[in-house]
Amino acid sequence: MKVSSSTVALTAAGLLAATGNAEPIKRTSKCGLPLVQDKALVDAILLEDLVGCAQDLEDIAYATSRRNRVHGTEGHLNSVKYFQEQLASLGDYYNVELQEFTTEVTLQSQAALTINGETVEAGGFSFGNNGTWANVPLVPVANIGCNAEDHPDTLSGAVALIARGDCTFVQKITLAGEKGAIGAIIYNNAEAGLAAGTLGGVNDLIPVGGISRADGLRFVEQIEAGTTLNSAGDFWQYIDNTTSYNVVATSKYGDANNVLFLGAHSDSVEAGPGINDNGSGSCGLLTIAKALANWRTNNQVRFAWWTAEEEGLLGAEHYVNITAASVLDKVRLYLNFDMIASPNYVLGIYDGDGSTFNLSGPAGSAEVEKLFEEWYASQDLPFVGSEFNGRSDYGPFLDAGVPCGGLDTGADGIKTDAEVSAFGGTAGIWYDPNYHSAADNVTNLNLDAFNATGKAIAHAVATYGKSWEGFPTRNATALTRRIAGAAPKKYTPYMKTSRRGKKTY
Ligand SMILES: *[C@@H]1O[C@H](CO)[C@@H](O)[C@H](O)[C@H]1NC(C)=O
Ligand SMILES: *[C@@H]1O[C@H](CO)[C@@H](O)[C@H](O)[C@H]1NC(C)=O
Ligand SMILES: *[C@@H]1O[C@H](CO)[C@@H](O)[C@H](O)[C@H]1NC(C)=O
Ligand SMILES: *[C@@H]1O[C@H](CO)[C@@H](O)[C@H](O)[C@H]1NC(C)=O
Ligand SMILES: *[C@@H]1O[C@H](CO)[C@@H](O)[C@H](O)[C@H]1NC(C)=O
Ligand SMILES: *[C@@H]1O[C@H](CO)[C@@H](O)[C@H](O)[C@H]1NC(C)=O
Ligand SMILES: *[C@@H]1O[C@H](CO)[C@@H](O)[C@H](O)[C@H]1NC(C)=O
Ligand SMILES: *[C@H]1O[C@H](CO)[C@@H](O)[C@H](O)[C@H]1NC(C)=O
Ligand SMILES: [Zn+2]
């Protein structure tokens, strides 16, 4: 379904009224539906439906002046409305709830930089502070600026030029600010695109901008050769509180004490429409939610489209915060899908047993990893482990002791030669060269990856919708997180003290 511009004038009241007033389409009771079958559900996931949904989300983004789907903006509210309407069209199969959530968001960003009079392409960071300066020397920071000693005393009154990588943006610019720098310019650690990301929240740091790796290296070389580079900068971000919604759909039938829960985020970053990140995950879930409505499941299935993931997993964290422990305890497994059609993809499976990255999850996390591994193997598809670091909407579920799993196809990691041998593509560049950029749109999705992950999710839904046989039960023992090779220890939430965003360094 295409969303026409008549849906644009949407208010919170309108959204809520739509839920309350939706007239359920009459259909036979779930008891009359056949029990879900693995092959039939997998076969019902068609690439054209996945892409059609992605196209709808792109249209929603491009119908707005911002051309994105940032939490709380028109593009995001219309995305929420889209998921809600699509679910409502399935009649009474799902109970659909909207959960309101308000948070601070960077709504607009402007960046301008000149070096010795030459205009250089530059971008801002979410939650970056405003700053305007002229005729201020650029001073390179040693190494990648993660240690205080990398930052020279000559930064005082200057603008720091820092490489991206290894530690957070916040750490780099805090250290530069402590040496008296009045601003910072970060250059990328990948060949494509400008350094960009989020500082995680409102702060009192020095203003910061991002430039390309090529420009950064060129400036470092010139300065090292003795040339003085004077910069003029004008960086501006508009931050405000905005309200949007999680969409949570729960099947009305099936065992409510043994729930399968699947989530994806429905918002984008400010830079673009967010079609791989994370329109692809959202559309994977919507397509499966629609296909599932033709079947009965033995276990209840819940889907969520989270808001404010890009601001630090806030929508999912809000859900976990406001949901009673007795309800979360009934979730046998949470599955997360974020970026499942990356242009330079790998088929990644969350490393729930810690065999690849040494970070495992509550009992069940290993079993679901194995289920996906066996599925890809049965389809003659290669796969790799994805670090189980909690940096997406499953983080809050891990913190609550819920077993987790999921698939992704790569973000801003660098593809290796070995991965190119297995999956094709290009070594030495990002899995998604358009990550968090304006080019993250339908044109740039990898359709083989989208097709393969969509069908793998359907296989998991059919399997666990039917039975939890062989899957660990939830109990106190299952709440421990293990580091492989070390004594089992209580799971420590990832980066508890700061907001978790996928892109903080
Ligand atoms: C930047 O300045 C604009 C006004 O020009 C203001 O609205 C905005 O809040 C400022 N941003 C920050 C991060 O202080
Ligand atoms: C957002 O709302 C909070 C709580 O009311 C307030 O403290 C904060 O200053 C607001 N932020 C902005 C940018 O207005
Ligand atoms: C969730 O609860 C924690 C602890 O009370 C709080 O620090 C955090 O801000 C809450 N998160 C959201 C998104 O409301
Ligand atoms: C896994 O982490 C533990 C604890 O940090 C460490 O002792 C162990 O050597 C690590 N194992 C591997 C294979 O990296
Ligand atoms: C609790 O979970 C552990 C780990 O999965 C499992 O070995 C054990 O059998 C479970 N206990 C009960 C009572 O279900
Ligand atoms: C998608 O992004 C590419 C690269 O930025 C751009 O050339 C193309 O026009 C975009 N598609 C649409 C429909 O705007
Ligand atoms: C999607 O994958 C299935 C195999 O899992 C294959 O049969 C089908 O042709 C693929 N569809 C497209 C359009 O590539
Ligand atoms: C896309 O959404 C899924 C589900 O919320 C999340 O797990 C994943 O981290 C997101 N991916 C990115 C790169 O934003
Ligand atoms: Zn993202």
Query: What mean pLDDT is reported for the chain?
Result: 86
Give the span between the Cα atoms of 24 and 27, in whole angstroms: 9
Instruction: List pLDDT tens digits, range 378-425.
Output: 999 999 999 898 888 899 999 888 999 999 999 888 899 999 999 999
What is residue 436's predicted lDDT score, i.e. its pLDDT? 79
Q: Which among 194, 441, 442 is the best mutation to test ligand 6's pocket, defined by most ligand atoms within 8 Å of the CB?
A: 441
d(Cα 77, Cα 208) in Å, to the nearest integer? 29
- Give the separation between CA 362 and CA 479, rounded to whole angstroms: 5
Measuring from atom 12 of ligand 8, which residue has the nearest CA?
338
Mean pLDDT of 145-168: 95
Nearest-angstrom CA–CA distance, 173 and 171: 6
Output the residue whose Cα is nearest ligand 2's atom 6: 241
Does 309 qualify as catalytic in the annotation?
Answer: yes
Q: How far is CA 130 from CA 241, 320, 327, in A?
A: 18, 34, 44
- Tell me the pLDDT band of 476, cut-offs 50, 70 and 90: low
Q: Which of 102-106, 295-299, 310-314, 407-411 has the highest mean pLDDT?
A: 295-299
Best mutation site among 71, 103, 104, 311 for ligand 2 pocket (most ligand atoms within 8 Å of CB): 104
Residue 403 has which token pair?
A: 């077993």
pLDDT at 315 over 80: yes
Question: Residues 214-242: what's their mean pLDDT?
Answer: 96
pLDDT at 65 over 90: no
For residue 487, what pLDDT is reported?
A: 31
Q: Which of 58, 309, 310, 419 is catalytic?
A: 309
Q: Is the pLDDT of residue 277 over 80?
A: no
Q: Mean per-residue pLDDT for 137-143? A: 97
pLDDT higher than threshold 50 for residue 7: no
Sign of the CA dihedral with 60 first, then 440, 453, and 246 last? negative
Check pocket membership of 317 for ligand 8, CB cut-off 6 A.
no
Index of the ligand 3 atom closest to the CA of residue 308? 13
Ligand 1 contacts CB of residue 236 (under 6 A)? yes
pLDDT at 448: 97
CA atoms of 145 and 169, how far apart (whole Å): 9
**Contact 265 CB / ligand 8 (< 6 Å):** yes
- Whole-number Å distance between alpha carbons of 55 and 443: 9
Query: Residue 206 pLDDT more than 60?
Result: yes
pLDDT (tens digit, 9 = 90+) per residue, 251-268? Answer: 998 999 999 999 998 887
Domains and their CATH numbers in the chain = 5-93+252-497 (3.40.630.10), 120-239 (3.50.30.30)
Closest-CA residue, ligand 4 atom 8, reads 485
| Spacing of C-alpha 126 from chain mean position | 15
Q: Provide the H-helix boundaries in 113-256.
A: 169-178, 213-224
Band the pLDDT of 17: cuts 50, 70, 90: very low
DSSP state of 91: T
Q: What is the pLDDT of residue 20?
A: 38
306 to each of 97, 230, 244, 399, how far by Cα in Å? 12, 44, 10, 17
pLDDT above 60 for 18: no
More confident residue, 334 or 17: 334
| Ligand 7 pocket by Cβ (under 6 Å) | 47, 379, 451, 455
**Structure letter (DSSP) for residue 34:** P
pLDDT > 70: what percent of the chain? 87
Angle at 298 between CA 297 and CA 303, to 5 degrees: 55
Instruction: Tell which residue, 91, 483, 98, 438, has the closest CA to residue 275.
Output: 438
Nearest-angstrom CA–CA distance, 111 and 125:
9
Closest-approaching ligand to the CA atom of 474: 5
Percent of the chain at pLDDT exceeding 90? 64
Helix/strand/coil for 462: helix
Ligand 5 contacts (CB < 6 A) are: 363, 472-473, 475, 477-478
Say whether the peptide bond before residue 278 is cis (omega within 30 degrees of 0): yes
Give the pLDDT confidence score for residue 475 in this predicted structure: 67
Residue 279 is predicted with a pLDDT of 76
Element (H, E) at 94: strand 94-115
Ligand nearest to the CA of 105: 2
3-class DSSP state of 186: strand
